[in-house]
Amino acid sequence: MNTGYILHSSCWLITYAFILISINTNANETAERTLNERTLNKERSGFYFQSNNTQALQNDSFANPGLLWVDSGQQWFSKRPDNITPACQHCHNQDKKPLVGAATLYPQYDSTTKKLMNIEQRINRCRTQYQHQPPFPYESNELLSLTAYVSNLSKGMPFNVNITDNEKPFFERGRDFFYQRRGQMNLACHHCHEWNAGKKLRGDTLSQGHSNGYPIYRLEWQTLGSLHRRLRFCNTGVRAETYPLGSEEYVNLELFLAWRANQLLIETPAVRR
């Protein structure tokens, strides 16, 4: 008996069964959503799809491992790059009040570059333009820490992303990305995070795919990670093309996800399985 063949066939049968259960077979499916069509009262944070233990870990202000990066980010915020260059807090004031609520508004259109900019890119813009330092690499501890710190200043505040005429084309591209089938699995984001939210996949409960906790500490990563890291993981999971961290494709999608999460409270640093 060829056990290798049986195992290979079984894997494909399981995959095919999941596709049949999860996906509508209409190959010409399109997303026809407008800004006014989405109802907000059905949205639930990924927190509610976690186990009691994971929820307790996130809520523990001492044990939450993501707070290590928040503390590190606070140090970077108050640290001068050299003896001449001012620290972040020099511009944003010692009490940080001007940054409270900032994370609820990103990504935003940047009039200088005429592109969309998320918090990570805004931090690096300040670093290069005002501190005259090289940008932090995406997913570096320094950038994750500063992003976690800035986002944590808005913890408990609802997302309030506004789609202006400037943001609209980026928003539409992000929305199209969310509803577009991709990869060998021929799946779109919404197949998991809208049609099958709350169901099990590989022992994990599918959430609605909201971004209100990032950067998050994932137990499977054993570290803090950005939203774009998670997006790449999802692309890999459906055997689709991945994009660079900080790419326009992911920032556009990030805008759509932020708008989709409007009125959900920021939880950074969230803890997920």
Query: Tokens 């991945």, residue?
Result: 242
Taking a C-beta distance cutoff of 8 angstroms, is the pair 228, 236 a contact?
A: no
Is the pLDDT confidence value at 1 over 50?
A: no
Dig out the tokens for 6 from the structure: 């049986």
CA distance 196 to 176: 19
Buried b / exposed e across 167-194, counting CB within 10 Å, b at 16+? beebbbbbbebbbebbbebebbbbbbbb
Q: Answer yes or no: same fold for 35-59+162-272 and 67-152.
A: yes
CB atoms within 10 A of CB 52: 7
DSSP code of 195? S
State yes or no: 126 annotated in a binding site.
yes
Task: Give the residue with greater pLDDT, 12 vs 146.
Answer: 146
Q: Is 8 annotated in some ligand binding site?
A: no
pLDDT tens digits, one per residue of 198-211: 898 877 889 999 99
Is 11 annotated among the ligand-binding residues?
no
What is the model's pLDDT at position 94?
Answer: 61
β-pair partners for 223: 218
Beta-carbon contacts of 97 under 8 Å, excluding residues fewer than 6 positions away, are: none
- What's the mean per-residue pLDDT of the chain? 86
CA distances from 130 to 78, 84, 90, 157 (A): 15, 12, 11, 28
Q: What positions carry a catalytic annotation?
A: 234
3-state secondary structure of 187: strand
Q: Is residue 229 scored above 60 in pLDDT?
A: yes
Does domain 35-59+162-272 correspond to CATH entry 1.10.760.10? yes
Q: What does residue 216 show for φ and ψ, rounded to 5 degrees?
A: -120, 155
91 has binding-site annotation: yes
Residue 88 annotated as lining a ligand binding site: yes
Answer yes or no: is pLDDT of 187 > 80.
yes
pLDDT per residue as tens digits for the range 123-174: 999 999 999 999 999 999 999 999 999 999 999 999 999 999 999 999 999 9
What pLDDT is stored for residue 21 in this prediction? 43
pLDDT above 50: residue 27: no
Question: Would you kindly state where each structural domain of the chain is located, as residue ranges?
Answer: 35-59+162-272, 67-152
Q: Check whether 230 is labelled as a binding-site residue.
A: yes
CATH superfamily placement of domain 67-152:
Cytochrome c-like domain (1.10.760.10)
Lowest-confidence region among 24-28, 51-55, 250-254: 24-28
